[in-house]
Structure 1
Amino acid sequence: MWGALAIVPMGTAWAQVAPAGAAEAASQTFTLGTVEVSARREAEELGAGDMQRVSSAEMERSNASTVADAVRNLPGVSLSRNSRNEEMINLRGFDSRQVPIFVDGVPLYVPYDGYVDLGRFTTFDLAEINVAKAGASLLYGPNTLGGAVNLVTRKPVKPFEGDVRLGVGSGGERRASFNLGGNQGNWYYQLGASYLEADSFPLPRGFRDYKKQPTDTGSKRENADRTDKRLSFKLGLTPNATDEYAIGYVRQEGEKGNPVYTGQSTQKNAVRYWRWPYWDKDSLYFLSTTRLNSSNVLKTRLYHDTYKNGLDMYKDASYTAHDPTSSYKDVSKGASVEWVNYAFSGHELHAAFHYKQDEHTDAASGKDPQKHYRDVTTSLVLEDHIALAERWRLTLGLSHDQRDAKQVYQWPTGSTSATNGLARLSYALTAQGDELYLIASHKSRFATIKDRYSARMGTALANPDLKPEVANHLELGLSGTPWQGGKGQAAVFYSRVRDQIQTMVVDSTACGGKTCNQAQNVGRTRNVGLELSLAQQLWAQWALHAGYTYLSRTNLSDRSITLTDTPRQRLTAALQWNPQAQWQLRAELEAEQGRKVPLSASGQAQVYQMAGYGVANLRARYLPRPDTTLDFGVANLGDKWYQLADGLPMPGRSWYVNLGYRF
C-alpha cells in the first residue's frame, strides 16, 4: 500500500471535496481521443502508473486558462518564456520540441520549428490533459524524445448538457466561454466557444527596467496585450456498444503583443519592438474505432491542420512604423491506422502505421522569392501489453520512423530514419492500484525544417544532413496509497541524450564575415532526477497536496557550456479547507531554485543563475447552488518580482473573479 513513483495531479487530493459538476466532468472524457491502451488507463485511474492527468475540474478550480498554466504544478514540469512571448513547458529537461503536443491524439506542433505556443491554447473545452514521460507509448508516433502531452476534448454523457463561464481579472482581462453538447444514444454532438482577452498585466513591486531607454516605467507591462478566440465542434456516431466514429473541427484566432526586454544585455538583438497581428490555426480531423470481431479492433485518425502566423517588427516603442509583415503558412496532413488484437491469452497486441506530411511556405519578401518546404514522416509501430501473471504486467514496443525531405528550397532532398524501443515492467502491490514499475526506453526526434535549412536572417549555414536526436531513459517508480487518505507517487529517472542538435560557430565567409552559425549533432547530455508527490485527505474538511522535483542536467560534450532554462529544484504545495458545504478555500505555494538562463541575444555565451523565488496564491470558491460556482482569488500574493527568462518579468499581484453555471 505504498506511495508513488510518478505523479499525482493536484486535483486528486480534492476528491472528497470536489466542486459542482466534477464527477460529471470526469466522465466527459472523449476516450476516442486518448492514446494509452485500455488496460493501462484503468490502472492509472486507480492511481497507479507513470502517466499524469489534469482534469477539467482542476483546471477550472485553479483558474488555468491556458495549457501551460494547467500543467505547471505537475512534478517534472517547469515553465519557460522566450523573447517571442511564447509559453513553453520543459519536461525533465526536455523542451517543447522534444515533448510534442497532441489534441485527441493528433500531433499539434508547428511543422517549421517543432514548437507550439501553449499560451495560445486555452482549456475551456478540454476534459483532461495527459502527460507521459519516458514511458510514453510508441503509439503516439515519431518525435516523442522526452515524452508526450495529449489534450483530450469533451464528449457529452447526457441528452442535453453544457456550461457557461464568465470572468474578469487584473490587466483588463475578460473571459467568456460556453460548452454545449448532447448524447442521443447512437449519436452525439459537442460545441464549444471561448474568448480570452487582456490589455496587459501588473508589474511586481520593486521592478526596474534596466534599458538605457526604458519602456516599462509604470505599474503595468507595456505591449503585453493578448486576444485568443476558439471555436470547436464535434459530431459522433455510436451505432453500437463497441464502434464509434467522430469528426471534429477547431478554429482558433490569436493576436498578441511582445513585451520588450527589460534586462541588462547590450546585445544588438536583445531589444525587439514586435507584435503578432495574427496567430491562427484550423484543424479538421476524423477518428474512429471499429470492432471487426471478438478478437480484432481497427482504429483510424485522419487530420488536416493549417497554421498561419504574422510578425510585425517595429522601429521603436511608438509602434507606428514597421517592416513588411513577416508571415508564414504551415500545413500538416496525416493519417494513422491502428490494429488491436486480443486473440492470444494475456496479450493486447497493437500494430500501427503513421503518415504525416508537413509543408512550410515562407512568403516572398523584397527580392527574396517564396520558399516551399515539404517533409513526409512515416512510422511503423508494434506494441504488446502482456499479463505475465495475476500481478505482473509487461509492455514491449518497437517502432521504426523515417523522414523524407520531398521538397526543399534550393537544397538537395534526402531522408533519415530512427528506431525506437520501449519496455515497461510493473507489479501490482495491491488490488487498489498500488504499483511498482520499471521503464527502459530508447526515443528519438527528427531535426525540424528550421534546424536543417534556416539561414537565421543571414547568420547561419544550412545543414541538410542533421541526424535525429536520440535519448535512452531509465525510470523506477512506485505509486499508490501509503496510508489511509493518502495517494503518493515517487520516481527516480535517468536520461542520456546523444546527437543533440546545437548551434556551433564554423569558419565561413558566407554570412558576411569570417564565421557562420550552423546547427550540428554535437551534443551529449545527461538528465538525472527525483520526483515526489503526495495528496492527503487530512480531516473531513482539510486536504493537502505537495509535489517536489529535483533535476540535475550535465553537458557531457562540454562541461563549460551550461544547460539552461530549467530549475534544479521545484516545489508546489496546496492546502484546502472546506469550512461549510458551500465554501472551499485554498492556499498554494510555488517555489523554485537553481534556474540558469542565457543573457538575452547572447546565445550560450553569457549565462547566469536566476534568484530563487517563492510565490503564494489564495483561491476561494462559493457554491450558492449545486450548478453554480463563484471563484475568486489572488495570485502572487506577495507581489514578488521574479523571472523565468532574462529581462522578462512575470506578473505581480493579480486578482480574478469567475462565475460558472453548469446544466
Structure 2
Amino acid sequence: MYRKLSLVVATTLFAGKLLASETTNLGQIDIFENKNSDSRFKSNEISAEDMKLQEKNSVVDALNTISGLNTYGYGARGEQTISIRGFSARHSPVFIDGIAINVPSEGYVDLSNYTTFNLDKIQVTKGLSSPLLGINTFAGAINLVTRKPTKELEGSISAGVFSGDGKKTYINLGTNQGKYYIQASGSYLDRDYIPMSSNFNSNSNQDNDKRVNSYKTDKNINLKVGYTPNDTDEYAFNYINQKTEKGMPTDIFAVPPKGKQAGPYRQWDYSNKESFYFLSNTNFKYAYLKSRVFYDKYEDNMLFFTDKTFSKLNKNALPTPYDANTKGVSLELGEYDTQRNSLKLAFHIKRDTQEDNDSGKTYTKKMDYLSIGLEDTFRFTDNFRVIAGASWDKDKVKEANNKKPDINYGSEFDHASSNSFNPMIKFEYDIDETFNLYAGIAKKTRFASLKERYSYRFGKQIPNPELKPEKTINYEIGVNKVFENQGIKSVLFYSDVKDYIQEEIINPNAPKNDQVAKNNNIGKVKHMGYELEYFYSLSNTLDIDASYTRLLAEDRDNKVDIIDAPKHKVVLGTTYRPVKGLTTNINMQYSSSRHTDQNDRNKDVGGATIWNAKIAYEFVKGLTLDVGASNIFGKNYEYSYGYPESGRVIYSNLTYKF
C-alpha cells in the first residue's frame, strides 16, 4: 500500500537519481548506482582539483582528458566542442547542474566559451545513459556541476598570465551557515592572440607568429543562494551571466575566388548567455520531491569584414544578431530507495525559441520537447542488480518562419512532429568490493536540430523540415578491478545507427563553390571500439592515470567518411609530490589522424601528441605559485583542416585558497 502511494509522476528536465537519505550538490546527476569499484576511475568524472592541476581553463580542454571523448572544431565559426565515441556534440546534451544548455538552433554547445573556475566537477555518461535524463542522450551526456560551499567561510582568489598577452583572474567566495549557504564566483580570461607553433610555415593567409584574428575574452559571474532547513532538504537559486567576445580565425589554406581575397572574415561581436535556475529537493516519509525551474537566454552577433585587416565591414554581408531562449519547469516525485528496489518515473518538458534578425525583419522558430522516463533498479542479491527502464520522447515544431518563401515552402515551413520509444536494460554484478562486471543495451534517438531542418546556410543548403530522428542501439560490456593501490578498467561498446542525418549534394556536377546540399536520413552507421583505463596511487606522493581508446566509425553504405572520429586516443597523467608543498604534474593527450570532411580525403589531418607540464609550490598555507607550459614541444597540429591549434603556451599563476 505504502509503495503504491510513493510511486508518483516526476516532472523534471534531465533529472538524475537522488536518494532520499542523501545530501549532495543539487546540480549533480548520479547515473545508476555508482557504488562499486567503478567510482575509483576517472573515465566518467573530472574534479575541480584535477582541472586546476592540469591547467584546464576551458571545459573543452578538461573533457579532452577523458577516455572516449575527443576535441573537434567547427572551422570558420571559431568554435570547439567534444564528441563522445565519435558522435558529434549534437548527440550528447550538455547540462549545467542538470539543466540542458544546448543552443536551440545548433543543438550543440561551444564548450571553449565555458570556463572551469566556478565548477566543482564535470560528470560524463556514455552509451548506456539513464532514460531519466530526457531527450537526445544518443551517445551520452555531460553535466557541469557548479560549486557549493561546505564551510562557514571558504574561497579562492587567483591571478595569472600566459603567452599570447593573456590574463586570467578568478574569485570564488562561499559561506555555509547550516540553514543557508551563499556561493559567489567571478572570472575573467583574456588573450590578444594564439601563438603559432615554431614549426608552422607562414603563407599569404597566416604569418609565423600570431594566429590572425584569434583574440578572445570570457567573463563569467555565478551566484548561488541555497536554503537547507534540515539534513535532507535543499532549495537553491542559481544565476549565471556569461559573456564572450572573440575573433574567428580563417582557413589558412583557403584559395580565394579570382580577384578576391580568401575569407570569410568574421568576428563574434558578442556571444552571451544568461541563466536563471531554481532547484530543490524535499524528502517525505516514503518519497522525495525534486524540482527544477529554468530559463536560459542566448544572444550573439556575427560581423563580416572585407579583408584580413578586419577594419572595414562588408556591406554585402550584414551582421547576424541572434536571440534565443530555453525555458521549462519541472517536478520530480519518487519513492524512497528500499534495500531491494528503487523505482523512478520522470516527465520532462521544455520549449526552445529562436529569433533571427535579417534585413530588419524578425524570423521566429519554436520547438517543444517532451520526455517521459521510467527506471527501476532491482537488487536480486547484495551483489547482483538489474536496472531497466524506458523513455518516450517527442518533439513538435510550433513555429518556423521562412526567410525565403518559394514554390516548396511559403512564409511558414511545415510543422513536423516526431516521437520515439527508447527501452534499456543493464546488469551489474559485484564479484567482491573490488571487482565489478556489467553489461547493457539501450535504444536511443536524436531529434534533428532547428538548423539541420531549416537553415539555408548562406544559400549552400536546401531546408528539409521532414527530417526524422536518428536511431541507435547501444551495446556495452565493462569490467573493472581495483587492487590495493591500483586498478584497471575495460569497456567494449558498439552502436548500430539508422536514419543517420547526412548531407547529399543536389548538384554534384556543378563547380564546388556552387554546389548545394540537403540533409537527409540516409546514413547507416556503426561505431565500435573499446576503452582501457589504469590508475596507480602511492600514498599522497605519486598518482598515475592512463587511458587508451580504440574507435572504429564507419558508414556501412560507404557514402561518406565519418568525421572527427580518430581511431586511437591516449591520455596520460602523472602527479608527483616529492616534498611537502611541492606538486608537479605532467600530462599528455594523443589523438590519431582523422577525417574532417565527409567527401574530401585531401582534408584529413594528422595525429598529434601534446605534452603539458606544471610545477606548483605552496609557500604558506593556502598561498600557491605555479608555472607551467602547454604543448611544451611546440607541436604544429590541427583538429580541423586549415585551422591550426595553439603552439607552446607558458603561464604562471598566484592563488590563495582559504
The one-letter code sitting in structure 2 at the alignment partner of 1:57 is E
Superposed, 1:194-273 pairs within 5 Å as 194-210=187-203, 214-263=204-253, 271-273=263-265
Partner of 1:569: 568
Give the secondary structure class of the aligned counterpart of 1:32: coil
Moved more, 641-650 or 144-153: 641-650
Are 1:431 and 2:398 matched, yes or no?
A: no
Q: How many Å apart are 1:594 and its aligned residue? A: 3.0
Q: How many Å apart are 1:364 and its aligned residue? A: 2.8
- Give the conservation status (yes or no) of the 8 Å contact 1:488–1:534: yes
Q: How many Å apart are 1:640 and its aligned residue? A: 1.3
Structure 1 segments, 4+ long, off by >6 Å, are 266-270
Moved more, 423-432 or 165-174: 423-432
**1:505-528 Cα deviation digits (max 9, x unpaired):** 23699x9x9974211111111011
Distance in 2, matches of 1:468 and 1:267, equals 38
Partner of 1:522: 522
Give the secondary structure class of the aligned counterpart of 2:519: strand
Q: How many Å apart are 1:270 and its aligned residue? A: 7.1
Distance in 2, matches of 1:180 and 1:277, equals 31
Partner of 2:15: none
Q: Evaluate the alpha carbon distance shift between residue 516 and residue 654 of structure 1 in structure 2; reply closer, same or farther with a 3 A threshold.
A: closer
Partner of 2:13: none
Distance in 1, matches of 2:396 and 2:502, equals 22
Partner of 1:462: 463
Query: Percent same amino acid among aligned pairs?
Result: 32
Give the secondary structure class of the aligned counterpart of 2:89: coil
Partner of 1:13: none
Q: How many Å apart are 1:597 and its aligned residue? A: 2.0
Q: How many Å apart are 1:541 and its aligned residue? A: 3.4
- Give the conservation status (yes or no) of the 8 Å contact 2:390–2:422: yes
Q: Evaluate the alpha carbon distance shift between residue 51 and residue 586 of structure 1 in structure 2; reply closer, same or farther with a 3 A threshold.
A: closer
The one-letter code sitting in structure 2 at the alignment partner of 1:537 is S
Partner of 2:404: none
The one-letter code sitting in structure 2 at the alignment partner of 1:74 is I
- Give the conservation status (yes or no) of the 8 Å contact 1:231–1:252: yes
- Give the conservation status (yes or no) of the 8 Å contact 2:58–2:115: yes
Partner of 1:279: 271
Moved more, 389-398 or 586-595: 586-595
Give the secondary structure class of the aligned counterpart of 1:336: strand
Q: Evaluate the alpha carbon distance shift between residue 296 and residue 436 of structure 1 in structure 2; reply closer, same or farther with a 3 A threshold.
A: same
Distance in 1, matches of 2:417 and 2:385, equals 37
- Give the conservation status (yes or no) of the 8 Å contact 1:30–1:152: no
Moved more, 71-80 or 574-583: 574-583
The one-letter code sitting in structure 2 at the alignment partner of 1:320 is S
Superposed, 1:340-379 pairs within 5 Å as 340-342=334-336, 346-365=340-359, 369-379=361-371
Partner of 1:21: none
Q: Evaluate the alpha carbon distance shift between residue 606 and residue 568 of structure 1 in structure 2; reply closer, same or farther with a 3 A threshold.
A: closer
Q: How many Å apart are 1:592 and its aligned residue? A: 2.3
Are 1:338 and 2:328 matched, yes or no?
A: no
Superposed, 1:523-562 pairs within 5 Å as 523-537=523-537, 541-557=541-557, 559-562=558-561
Superposed, 1:100-179 pairs within 5 Å as 100-179=93-172
- Give the conservation status (yes or no) of the 8 Å contact 1:244–1:289: yes
- Give the conservation status (yes or no) of the 8 Å contact 2:64–2:589: no
Partner of 2:289: 298
Are 1:447 and 2:439 matched, yes or no?
A: no
Give the secondary structure class of the aligned counterpart of 2:388: strand
Q: Evaluate the alpha carbon distance shift between residue 346 and residue 607 of structure 1 in structure 2; reply closer, same or farther with a 3 A threshold.
A: farther
Q: How many Å apart are 1:265 and its aligned residue? A: 5.6
**1:374-404 Cα deviation digits (max 9, x unpaired):** 1110111111112121101111111101111
The one-letter code sitting in structure 2 at the alignment partner of 1:350 is K
Give the secondary structure class of the aligned counterpart of 1:370: strand
**1:128-179 Cα deviation digits (max 9, x unpaired):** 0000001211222101110000000111111111111111101011011111
Moved more, 539-548 or 643-652: 539-548
Q: How many Å apart are 1:542 and its aligned residue? A: 3.1
Q: What is the TM-score normalised by the length of structure 2?
A: 0.90
Superposed, 1:318-337 pairs within 5 Å as 318-322=309-313, 323-337=317-331
- Give the conservation status (yes or no) of the 8 Å contact 2:299–2:323: yes
Distance in 1, matches of 2:97 and 2:496, equals 29
1:659 aligned to 646, 654, 658, which one?
654
Distance in 2, matches of 1:235 and 1:267, equals 56
The one-letter code sitting in structure 2 at the alignment partner of 1:106 is I
Give the secondary structure class of the aligned counterpart of 2:577: strand
Are 1:506 and 2:496 matched, yes or no?
A: no
Moved more, 142-151 or 157-166: 157-166
- Give the conservation status (yes or no) of the 8 Å contact 2:352–2:367: yes
The one-letter code sitting in structure 2 at the alignment partner of 1:489 is K
Partner of 2:640: 645
The one-letter code sitting in structure 2 at the alignment partner of 1:202 is P
Q: How many Å apart are 1:615 and its aligned residue? A: 2.5
Give the secondary structure class of the aligned counterpart of 2:164: helix
Q: How many Å apart are 1:622 and its aligned residue? A: 0.7
Distance in 1, matches of 2:138 and 2:445, equals 5
- Give the conservation status (yes or no) of the 8 Å contact 1:597–1:607: no
Partner of 2:376: 384
Q: Evaluate the alpha carbon distance shift between residue 545 and residue 515 of structure 1 in structure 2; reply closer, same or farther with a 3 A threshold.
A: closer
- Give the conservation status (yes or no) of the 8 Å contact 1:61–1:631: no
Partner of 1:22: none
Distance in 2, matches of 1:402 and 1:508, equals 35
Partner of 2:622: 627
Distance in 2, matches of 1:178 and 1:170, equals 22
Distance in 2, matches of 1:317 and 1:499, equals 41
Q: Evaluate the alpha carbon distance shift between residue 619 and residue 345 of structure 1 in structure 2; reply closer, same or farther with a 3 A threshold.
A: closer
Q: Evaluate the alpha carbon distance shift between residue 484 and residue 514 of structure 1 in structure 2; reply closer, same or farther with a 3 A threshold.
A: closer
- Give the conservation status (yes or no) of the 8 Å contact 1:198–1:227: yes
Partner of 2:28: 34
Give the secondary structure class of the aligned counterpart of 2:91: coil
The one-letter code sitting in structure 2 at the alignment partner of 1:36 is D
- Give the conservation status (yes or no) of the 8 Å contact 2:37–2:481: no
Moved more, 584-593 or 390-399: 584-593
Q: How many Å apart are 1:345 and its aligned residue? A: 5.2
Unaligned runs of 5+ in 2: 1-22, 402-411
**1:272-321 Cα deviation digits (max 9, x unpaired):** 2111010000000111111132x211111110000001100111011122
1:397 aligned to 385, 389, 402, which one?
389
Are 1:604 and 2:599 matched, yes or no?
A: yes
- Give the conservation status (yes or no) of the 8 Å contact 1:621–1:629: yes
Give the secondary structure class of the aligned counterpart of 1:326: coil
Distance in 2, matches of 1:290 and 1:304, equals 22
Partner of 2:7: none
Q: Evaluate the alpha carbon distance shift between residue 653 and residue 345 of structure 1 in structure 2; reply closer, same or farther with a 3 A threshold.
A: closer
Are 1:314 and 2:317 matched, yes or no?
A: no
Q: How many Å apart are 1:266 and its aligned residue? A: 6.4
Q: How many Å apart are 1:51 and its aligned residue? A: 6.2
The one-letter code sitting in structure 2 at the alignment partner of 1:596 is H
The one-letter code sitting in structure 1 at the alignment partner of 2:248 is N
Q: Evaluate the alpha carbon distance shift between residue 200 and residue 90 of structure 1 in structure 2; reply closer, same or farther with a 3 A threshold.
A: same
Q: How many Å apart are 1:423 and its aligned residue? A: 1.2
Distance in 1, matches of 2:326 and 2:611, equals 41
Distance in 1, matches of 2:180 and 2:586, equals 42
Give the secondary structure class of the aligned counterpart of 2:596: strand
Moved more, 614-623 or 279-288: 614-623
Distance in 2, matches of 1:394 and 1:266, equals 59
The one-letter code sitting in structure 2 at the alignment partner of 1:116 is V
- Give the conservation status (yes or no) of the 8 Å contact 1:36–1:137: no
- Give the conservation status (yes or no) of the 8 Å contact 1:391–1:427: yes
- Give the conservation status (yes or no) of the 8 Å contact 1:508–1:514: no
Task: Report how many aligned residue pairs link the two structures.
Answer: 620
Q: What is the TM-score normalised by the length of structure 1?
A: 0.89
